[in-house]
C-alpha cells in the first residue's frame, strides 16, 4: 500500500462502495439493523480469542515502540473490556430508531400536509486514534442511524481494529446487509486521512475526528466536507458567594477527580471573591488532600503552601490529569467573562443557592452544556439519557454537546397534496 496511486484509487472505491451500501441501509428496516447489531455482539464474543490475540500483537509493538503506560492502557483489551464492547453494541439496539421519526407535522390553509422526517446523514468518515473500542462503538452507532461509515483507526491499534471489524462484518452479513456499510481503511498510511478529508469525490457527507490537537489541526486545515468537531474541554466550576459550601466541595472534587482523563473533567475552579474567606480554603485543601496539584492565583496560594503559582498558560490548559487551576473572580459576571475568554465552549457549572445568579450564568455562558449545582462530569450522552455517543461536539453547527444516534441524522420534508399548484 506504499504506492500512492493505488491507495488513492482504493480510497475512492471505498467511497463509492459506501454510497451504494448506504442506499441499501436507508431502506433497511429497524429490525434488520438491530439484527445486524446483535449478530455483531455475538461475533465479538465468539471470536474473543482472535480479537485478544490481535490486540496482543498491537500491545507488543506498542511496548517495543516505547508507548507510555496511559497509552498502553488505552490500547489494551482483555476479556472484560471486550465483553463491555459487545454489551455496548447490544445497548445500542435498545435505543429508539431515529430514522423515519416525524419531528414536525402541520397542514397549511391550502391543504398541503407537511412532515419533517429524520433521515440518515449518509456516509460518515471517522478518524480516530488508539482506542480499538471506537471501531465497534462508532461503526455500531452509524449503523443504528442508517449511515454507512468509513473508519480510520490509529496505526497503534490496526490489528485490534481489523479483528473487531471482521466481527462487525459478520454481523452485517447475518442480517443480509452489504459489507460496505462499515468499512475499515486497511492501511495505516496517513495519506488515507487526506483523501477522507477531501471527501472521497463527494462520497463522504461528514467527518468526525476523534483525537488530539494535531489531528484537529489537520482536519481544520484540510477538510473540504462538514466536520462534527470535538475540541478540548476546558471545563469550569464557578463557586458563587451564595453556594452551599458542602455542595460546592462535593461537586468540585467530583468534577475534577472522578475521572481526570475525560473531556468533561473540570480544569479550572473559579471562586467568587466575595466567598474568599468562607469557601476558598476548604475547596483548595480538599483538592490538595485528595492528591490534586493546585495552580492558583495569589489568593489561592495564600491558602496553602502546596499551591503553586498559576501562569497565563494555565487558564488555557486542558490538563486531563490531577491538576487544577484556581482563581478568584468578581462574582458571576467575573466568572462569565473568564469563561468567555479562556473556555472551550464545552461544559461549565455554577454552584449557588441564588436563583438569579444561576439563571444569569446559564443564559450568558455560551457553552454546549451549562449546569447549575451539578458536576461537569455529567457531560456524557449516557448521563443525558441519550444512550451511547460518538463524542461531545463543541461546534455550534448541526450538533452541539453529546453526539448520539439522533445527532447523526438530517431531515427531509415530505409534503402530501391533492393537486395543489402555486398561485
Residue 156's CB is within 10 A of a number of other CB atoms, namely 23
Q: Retrieve residue 176's grid coordinates.
A: 443480509
What is each CA distance from 369 to 305, 401, 405, 420, in whole angstroms? 34, 7, 18, 44
Whose cell is 447523526? That residue is 408
Nearer residue to a copy of itself within complex by CB, 1 or 397:
397
Cα separation, 341 vs 316, in Å, equals 9
Distance in Å, CB of 373 to a copy of itself, minimum? 4
Q: Report if residue 421 touches a copy of itself, rule: CB under 8 A.
A: yes
Q: Are strands 293-296 and 308-309 parallel, antiparallel or unpaired?
A: parallel
CB of 224 to a copy of itself, least distance (A): 7
C-alpha Rg value of the chain to the nearest Å:
24
Q: Does 398 bind a copy of itself (CB under 8 A)?
A: yes
194 lies in the binding site for a copy of itself (CB under 8 A): no
Sequence-distant (6+) residues with CB within 8 A of 202 are 15
Q: Does 81 bind a copy of itself (CB under 8 A)?
A: no
Measure the CA–CA gap between 343 and 331, rounded to whole angstroms: 17
55 binds a copy of itself (CB under 8 A): no
Nearest to 112 by CA among 373, 423, 390, 364: 423
How big is the CA angle at 222 (ends 219 and 228), to the nearest 5 degrees?
A: 40
Q: How far is CA 153 from CA 57, 131, 139, 290, 351, in A?
A: 16, 8, 12, 36, 39
Scan residues 225-244 and list those touching a copy of itself (CB under 8 A): 226-227, 244
Query: Whole-number minimum distance, CB 412 to a copy of itself, in Å?
Result: 6
Q: How far is the CB of 237 from a copy of itself (least distance, A)?
A: 11
- The distance of closest approach from Cβ of residue 338 to a copy of itself in the complex, given in angstroms and rounded to an integer, is 14
Q: What would the grid cell of residue 66 be?
A: 516505547
CA dihedral of 127, 130, 132, 136, whole degrees rounded to 10: -20
Closest CA relative to residue 19, chosen from 92, 98, 121, 139: 121
Selected binder of a copy of itself within 44, 62, 85, 121 (CB under 8 A): 121
Per-residue contact string for residues 14-43; x = within reach of a copy of itself by CB under 8 A: ---------x--xx----------------
Compute how many residues bind a copy of itself; rule: CB under 8 A: 65
Q: Among residues 5, 65, 106, 291, which is the contact residue for a copy of itself, using CB under 8 A?
A: 106
Instruction: Please select the residue that binds a copy of itself; options are 24, 56, 61, 112, rule is CB under 8 A.
Output: 112
- The stretch near a copy of itself (CB under 8 A) out of 50-58, 118-126, 269-277, 288-296 is 118-126
Smallest gap from Cβ 47 to a copy of itself, in A, equals: 33
What mask, x for binding a copy of itself by CB under 8 A, covers residues 296 to 335?
Answer: ----------------------------------------
Quick check: 45 binds a copy of itself (CB under 8 A)? no
In terms of Cα–Cα distance, which of 315, 246, 324 is closest to 279?
A: 246
Residue 221, interface with a copy of itself (CB under 8 A)? yes
Q: How far is the CB of 217 from a copy of itself (least distance, A)?
A: 12
User: Please, which residue, 258 or 306, has the CB nearer to a copy of itself?
Assistant: 258
* Residue 423 · residue 110 · CB < 8 Å: no
* Residue among 48, 195, 205, 297 that touches a copy of itself (CB under 8 A): 205
- Going through 99-187 in order, the beta strands assigned E by DSSP cover 102-107, 113-120, 123-128, 148-152, 182-184
Query: Which of 67, 89, 119, 196 lies at the binding interface for a copy of itself (CB under 8 A)?
Result: 119
Q: Answer yes or no whether residue 412 interacts with a copy of itself by CB under 8 A.
A: yes
Q: In this chain, which stretch among 62-70, 178-186, 292-300, 369-377 interacts with a copy of itself, using CB under 8 A?
A: 369-377
Is 341 a binder of a copy of itself (CB under 8 A)? no
Q: Where are the beta strands (DSSP E) in 108-179?
A: 113-120, 123-128, 148-152
Contact between 364 and a copy of itself (CB under 8 A)?
Answer: yes
Residue pair 54/75 in contact by the 8 Å Cβ criterion: no
* Binding-site ranges for a copy of itself (CB under 8 A): 23, 26-27, 106, 108, 112, 114, 119, 121-122, 205-206, 220-221, 224, 226-227, 244, 247, 250-251, 253-255, 258, 340, 358, 362-364, 366-375, 377-378, 380, 383-385, 395-398, 400-401, 410-422
Amino acid at each position: 500500500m506504499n504506492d500512492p496511486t493505488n491507495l488513492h484509487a482504493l480510497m475512492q472505491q471505498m467511497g463509492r462502495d459506501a454510497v451504494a451500501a448506504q442506499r441499501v441501509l436507508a431502506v433497511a428496516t429497524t429490525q434488520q439493523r438491530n439484527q445486524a447489531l446483535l449478530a455483531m455482539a455475538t461475533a465479538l464474543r465468539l471470536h474473543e480469542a482472535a480479537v485478544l490475540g490481535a490486540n496482543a500483537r498491537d500491545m507488543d509493538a506498542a511496548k517495543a515502540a516505547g508507548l507510555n503506560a496511559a497509552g498502553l492502557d488505552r490500547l489494551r483489551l482483555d476479556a472484560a473490556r471486550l465483553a463491555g464492547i459487545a454489551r455496548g453494541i447490544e445497548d445500542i439496539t435498545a435505543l429508539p430508531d431515529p430514522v423515519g421519526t416525524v419531528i414536525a407535522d402541520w397542514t397549511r390553509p391550502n391543504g398541503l400536509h407537511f412532515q419533517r422526517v429524520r433521515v440518515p446523514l449518509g456516509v460518515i468518515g471517522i478518524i480516530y486514534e488508539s482506542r480499538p473500542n471506537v471501531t465497534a462503538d462508532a461503526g455500531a452507532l452509524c449503523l443504528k442511524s442508517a449511515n454507512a461509515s468509513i473508519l480510520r483507526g490509529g496505526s497503534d491499534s490496526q490489528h485490534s481494529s481489523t479483528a473487531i471489524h471482521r466481527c462487525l462484518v459478520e454481523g452485517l452479513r447475518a442480517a443480509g446487509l452489504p459489507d460496505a456499510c462499515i468499512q475499515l481503511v486497511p492501511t495505516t498510511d496517513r495519506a488515507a486521512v487526506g483523501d477522507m478529508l477531501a471527501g472521497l469525490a463527494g462520497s463522504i457527507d461528514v467527518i468526525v475526528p476523534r483525537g488530539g490537537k494535531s489531528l484537529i489541526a489537520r482536519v481544520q486545515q484540510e477538510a473540504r466536507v462538514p466536520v462534527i468537531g470535538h475540541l478540548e474541554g476546558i471545563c469550569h466550576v464557578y463557586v458563587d458567594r451564595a453556594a452551599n459550601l458542602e455542595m460546592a466541595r462535593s461537586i468540585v472534587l467530583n468534577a475534577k477527580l472522578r475521572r481526570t482523563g475525560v473531556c468533561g473533567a473540570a480544569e479550572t475552579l473559579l471562586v467568587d471573591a466575595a466567598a474568599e474567606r468562607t469557601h476558598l480554603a476548604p475547596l483548595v485543601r480538599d483538592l490538595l488532600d485528595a492528591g490534586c496539584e493546585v495552580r492558583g492565583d495569589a489568593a489561592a496560594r495564600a491558602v496553602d503552601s502546596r499551591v503553586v503559582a498559576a501562569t497565563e498558560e494555565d487558564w488555557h490548559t486542558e490538563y486531563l490529569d490531577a491538576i487544577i487551576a484556581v482563581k478568584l473572580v468578581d462574582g458571576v459576571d467575573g466568572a462569565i467573562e473568564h469563561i468567555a475568554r479562556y473556555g472551550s465552549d464545552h461544559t461549565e457549572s455554577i454552584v449557588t443557592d441564588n436563583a438569579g445568579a444561576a439563571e444569569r450564568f446559564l443564559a450568558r455562558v455560551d457553552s454546549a452544556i451549562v449546569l447549575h449545582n451539578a458536576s461537569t462530569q455529567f457531560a456524557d450522552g449516557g448521563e443525558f439519557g441519550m444512550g451511547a455517543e460518538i463524542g461531545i461536539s463543541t461546534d455550534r453547527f448541526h450538533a452541539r454537546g453529546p453526539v448520539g444516534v439522533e445527532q447523526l441524522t438530517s431531515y427531509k420534508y415530505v409534503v402530501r397534496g391533492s393537486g395543489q399548484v402555486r398561485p
